[in-house]
Amino acid sequence: MKNIRTLIVAAITAAVTSTSFAGNGKSAAAAAAKPGTSTIVAIVLADDGEFDVLQAAVVKAGLVDALNGKGQYTVFAPTDAAFIKALGVVDEAAAIAAVNALPVEALTNILLYHVTGGRRISTSVLAASEYLMLNGEYLSRIELAAAGIAKTDISASNGVIHVINSVLIP
């Protein structure tokens, strides 16, 4: 068990280390510790093709106002490819259609399992063995590592976003 824990911590550390330096030589974690200028919602709803399926899900679940407020949150944001894989569809349009077909309660539960209270930069994420998610369930560091961390420490005015390669299912 100790060897598995060591491997998981090493994998998370490698993922965080590979994405944790900004072009100015300062770590992305240090930059994310300071609030950004855009809210979590503004980053997710940006028309940049990065979170199109997540956009549709957040809007359908009615979470735009909650994630646009002044409260501090940490969001583990799945990529479009993660939704395509989890939903077993062929493309982004099919994933958006599948998300829109889900019952709002189920979708909200899934999305809130990707959000924890507080501003947790990557070093804070690494330090915790589990996180209480906004749906009331716990997400373990092992589950988070298995989801695959693609990018860390995207600073928002009301929290931090870490991009993951899987949809977390409560």
Structural domains for the chain: 2-164 (2.30.180.10)
| Mean pLDDT, range 108-133, rounded to an integer | 95
pLDDT computed for residue 101 by the predictor: 97
Q: What is the torsion angle, in degrees rounded to the nearest 10, for the CA atoms of residue 119, residue 128, residue 114 and residue 152? A: 60
| Mean pLDDT, range 129-137, rounded to an integer | 97
Of the given ranges (14-23, 115-124, 125-134), which has the lowest mean pLDDT? 14-23
Cβ(170)–Cβ(108) below 8 Å: no
Cβ(129)–Cβ(141) below 8 Å: yes
Q: How far apart are the C-alpha atoms of 95 and 119, rounded to whole Å? A: 29
Q: How far apart are the C-alpha atoms of 56 and 104, rounded to whole Å? A: 12
Model confidence band, residue 34 (pLDDT cutoffs 50, 70, 90)? confident
| Mean pLDDT, range 47-54, rounded to an integer | 88
Cβ(142)–Cβ(58) below 8 Å: no
Q: What's the first-to-final CA gap in the chain, in angstroms?
A: 23
Model confidence band, residue 114 (pLDDT cutoffs 50, 70, 90)? very high
Q: In the chain, where does DSSP find H-type helix? A: 2-18, 28-33, 40-44, 52-61, 80-87, 92-101, 104-112, 122-127, 141-147
Host H or E run for residue 74: strand 73-78
Q: How far apart are the C-alpha atoms of 169 and 128, rounded to whole Å? A: 20
